[in-house]
A = this chain, B = another copy of it.
Amino acid sequence: MVIKNERILDIAAEVLARRPDATLQTIADSAGISRTTIFNRYPTRGDLIEALAMDTVARIGAVMQRVPTSMDDDVDVALLAVTVALMPLASRTIFLRLHVDTHDVLETHWIDAVTPLAVYIATLQAHGRLRQDHPYRWLTASYIGLLFAAWDEIESGEIGPVQAARLITQTWLAGAEYAG
Contacts and interface: CB of A to CB of B under 8 A. Distances in A.
Contact of A148 (B94, B145, B170, B172): B145
Nearest to A151: B145
A31 interface: no
Nearest to A171: B175
Contact of A138 (B95, B142, B153): B153
Interface residues of A, number: 37
State the copy count for this chain: 2
A146 interface: yes
B174 A102 contact: no
Interface string A16-49: 0111100000000000000000000000000000
20 contacts: A18-B102, A19-B102, A94-B98, A97-B98, A101-B152, A134-B167, A134-B170, A134-B171, A135-B158, A135-B159, A141-B149, A142-B146, A145-B145, A145-B147, A145-B148, A145-B150, A145-B152, A146-B146, A148-B149, A172-B175
Interface of A: 17-20, 94-95, 97-98, 101-102, 134-135, 137-138, 141-142, 144-150, 152-153, 155, 158-159, 167, 170-176, 179
Given A134-B171, A141-B149, A148-B149, 7 more contacts: A97-B98, A101-B155, A135-B159, A137-B159, A141-B150, A146-B146, A174-B175
